[in-house]
Chain A
Amino acid sequence: MTSARTRWPVLTLVLVLVVAGLSSCEYGRLLRPSVLSQLNPRVVQMVNYLPAVDHPNEAILARLFVHGGLSHATLGNDGVFRDEIFVPKNELIWEPAVIVMEKGGELELTFSNGDQTFHRALMPTHGGRKLLDLPMHEAGVVRIRLDQPGLYWFGCPVANHAGRGMLGLVVVEGEVPADARLDRPAMPRPGSE
């Protein structure tokens, strides 16, 4: 494999150009070492399999869970996170299906239903879940409160739309308040050396 030795400078040049050109684009960020290290054979296999389940009634009945991508909610000046979720036609997914809040707080989501059937969004929040109707080609707004780090699921409770792909997650980052933490030295977390 002597050719690999001559290929590397070229590849490095291309890498620099691509990173520079795409530094503001999510595609460019794909090239970070931390991402590349995630691309083990199983992850690559999963990504390669996605087109086979990219539409209902191809390889499986519907879509893989939480298929529809991810978005980081934007924190507004009023302290409320906001994002938009779209329901495309004949897909039975939320786009995006994963909403990230960088810390706990209020999240306002605008859902738009571009599908040709009725959907609903069942959302987690304090005090009980909230339910938002999504008639065809209409939009709705729901505001929820999630205070603590973790994964909170949401879904479409109509028929089995959730099971067919309309499950989503709100991912809340952050730490618990200082006075709730343990009085002890800083401890290693999984993955730390």
Chain B
Amino acid sequence: MPMARREACILAAAVASLLVCSCADRPEYPVTQSAVRMSSLNAAGGKAPPVAADVTSGRIARARSEPQNWLTYYGAYDGQRYSTLDQIDTTNVSHLRPAWAFQAGVIGLVAAPATYAFEAAPIVVDGVMYVSGWDGYVWALDAVTGEMLWEYRHSVPLDVPLCCGNVNRGVAVADGKVFFATPNAHLVALDAVTREPVWIKVFADIRAGESATAAPLVVKNLIIVGSSGAEYGVRGHLDAFDLRTGERVWRTYMVPKPGEPGFESWPQDTDAWATGGGTTWITGTYDPELDLLYWGTGNPGPDFNGAVRPGDNLYASGVVALDPDDGTIQWHYQWTPHDVWDYDGINENILFEMDGRKLLAHFDKNGYFFLLDRTDGELVRATEFARTTWGDIDATTGEVTNRREPAPEGTDVCPGPAGAKEWPHAAYSPQTGLLYTPVIELCATFTSSETEFAEGMPFWGSATQPLTGDSWGGIKAFDPATGEEVWSMRTEHPIVASTLATAGGLVFTGTPTGEFLALDARTGEQLWSFRTGNGIHSNPVTYSVDGTQYVAVPSGWGGWAAGFAPELYGAPRGTALFVFTLPSRETNNANR
């Protein structure tokens, strides 16, 4: 009997091991060495000027009055990603040239080694840039010279559960601190001068499959941060902490539990709500006048098997408007009720006014461009902005008709799971009155099957496979007054970089093959490009110091490339930040 023989072998080995069960004596060596920080072994001085001390929520609310700075994730609370800086304009942008580059590289082993990426939006305050990377890195850089002022790296475990890539989308700055979320869901408040941690708060459970990628948002005296992990059957939430002390002020779950409003949209007799997803992995926007916070919610869980969660599955794949003081949900709108395509709803909600009406514009992964009244969430209009075959949404009533669903044998649907637009953000230019969105034209096969839930393990309810060979991308400009497309610029590969609109009449964006582009905001004509040498999947920003305008863009391919550009899954990974400006002669001319 093989089993008996194995047991006997093991016993014999154990008895024999008695003979060798002794420990060799080790020589004692004198302790002569103590450790040093790697961060003390670089050219950085270790200190940044105290520019962050005066940044407050009130100042962020007036961010557009200090266009030299990029004070918050979207540049301003309204999420417009628009700057009034106009030194670089349509007439001189062709002369734009690199001012400096920052290269981080990777030392040692890294979680998600094939998919770490540089996705951040740099923050700039009075000549100092704060930017975050993969694996818990944050850097303070001189925004004029690119010189590194300090580096911080949080210890992040190799086995941290990540949906997709080891990425981070940026920091928040206020009250003399730099706030950021680590992949293992620590909210860290660093002293902006010395980079020493002031407080550290764990805000999600990595054992449950939670993680973090979003840039936190400062609102009043709070620092608000979203969670990731809806691919692991978590229960998404948004957390707010006192920005001075790190004490928790509130947590709001995006999936209601029994007895709470919205629970009627979940099965009443199962624990489906407890694995219902709805994470908050992209930074929200804020209207200080209405005192409402607008935050997108991720896919319900499991992603593709809707059979175990019949109902609309609130508040997943939608937007919630929250009272920032206590986190209570004031209204909600669901972009994709009962989402079975991983369409999420986390894309930005851009706040702007039209004909005296307070509006919210949202390009969803599901391929529809929504316009809402942001006071109450009433739909103004929903129009298609890319190929959609999963279903239809009535333009005026918003009624959703699902046309297909994932099947065990596979269902082909457009858009794919990365959406017609991934998280990289659209921009709104008050100068042109147009919205500019990156577009992914890529369909996919979705399969569905039962997945047994186990905490901390992928909970997809089967799988999705992008359909290669018929994909492209581009930037499209839309008129929010009509919902009509005004122009489109088609690219070979999907565009997964945010757009940046400026008063110079320009729209900046980047391509997955590394070209950083400047387009004419009125026509979409390409006016300038620079090859950064690595795919761009980040947030370009603009700022100025001493009268010189700069444009900055992180360049570092990775993330969930398999989902949005599978043809570029094997492209090189980079870790650089490029900053551009005009030659000084032209800067002087433009200032005159």
Q: Which residues of A contact B (CB under 8 A)?
A: 1, 4, 7-8, 11, 14-15, 18, 21-22, 25, 27-28, 30-31, 36, 39, 86, 110, 112-114, 121-135, 137-153, 155, 157, 162, 167, 169, 172, 175-177, 179-185, 187-192
CB of B14 within 8 A of CB of A30, answer yes
CB of B151 within 8 A of CB of A128, answer yes
Specify which of B21, B109, B453 is in contact with A153 (CB 8 Å cutoff): B109
Instruction: List, in ascending order, chain B residues with CB within 8 A of A145's CB.
Output: 155
Specify which of B14, B36, B153, B160 is in contact with A31 (CB 8 Å cutoff): B14
CB of A176 within 8 A of CB of B108, answer no
Specify which of A11, A139, A176 is in contact with B206 (CB 8 Å cutoff): A176
- CA–CA, A36 and B29, complex, Å: 38
Instruction: List, in ascending order, chain B residues with CB within 8 A of A112's CB.
Output: 26-29
- CA–CA, A181 and B274, complex, Å: 12
Residue of B nearest to A142 (CB): B35
CB of B1 within 8 A of CB of A36, answer no
CB of A14 within 8 A of CB of B41, answer no
* B 321-358 to A, binary, CB cutoff 8 A, 1 in contact else 0: 00000000000000000000000000000000000000
- CA–CA, A180 and B206, complex, Å: 9
B584 interface residue (CB < 8 Å to A) = no
Residue of B nearest to A182 (CB): B235
Of all A-B residue pairs in the complex, the 6 with the closest CB atoms, nearest first, are A150-B157, A140-B33, A184-B274, A142-B35, A128-B39, A130-B35
- CA–CA, A130 and B107, complex, Å: 13
B203 interface residue (CB < 8 Å to A) = yes
- CA–CA, A187 and B205, complex, Å: 13
Specify which of A133, A152, A188 is in contact with B453 (CB 8 Å cutoff): A188
CB of B29 within 8 A of CB of A139, answer yes
Instruction: List, in ascending order, chain A residues with CB within 8 A of B10's CB.
Output: 30-31, 36, 39
CB of B37 within 8 A of CB of A130, answer yes
CB of B26 within 8 A of CB of A150, answer no
B234 interface residue (CB < 8 Å to A) = yes
* B 441-469 to A, binary, CB cutoff 8 A, 1 in contact else 0: 00000000000011111000000000000
CB of A122 within 8 A of CB of B108, answer yes
B4 interface residue (CB < 8 Å to A) = yes
Contact (A180, B185) CB under 8 Å given A140-B31, A140-B33 = yes
Instruction: List, in ascending order, chain B residues with CB within 8 A of A192's CB.
Output: 454
CB of B153 within 8 A of CB of A176, answer no
Can you give 6 contacting A-B residue pairs, CB < 8 Å? A7-B8, A130-B36, A138-B32, A139-B29, A176-B204, A190-B457
| B332, chain A: closest CB distance, angstroms | 19
| B504, chain A: closest CB distance, angstroms | 39
Residue of A nearest to B17 (CB): A27
8 Å CB interface, B253-272 against A: 253, 257, 271
CB of A182 within 8 A of CB of B35, answer no
Contact (A129, B153) CB under 8 Å given A135-B32, A141-B33, A188-B455 = yes
Instruction: List, in ascending order, chain A residues with CB within 8 A of B83's CB.
Output: none
* B 181-210 to A, binary, CB cutoff 8 A, 1 in contact else 0: 000111000000001110010111111101
- CA–CA, A122 and B234, complex, Å: 34
CB of A129 within 8 A of CB of B34, answer no
CB of A190 within 8 A of CB of B18, answer no
- CA–CA, A114 and B157, complex, Å: 29
Specify which of A7, A148, A151, A188 is in contact with B4 (CB 8 Å cutoff): A7
CB of A138 within 8 A of CB of B30, answer yes
- CA–CA, A94 and B457, complex, Å: 31
- CA–CA, A142 and B31, complex, Å: 11
CB of A151 within 8 A of CB of B33, answer no
CB of B31 within 8 A of CB of A129, answer no
- CA–CA, A69 and B457, complex, Å: 28
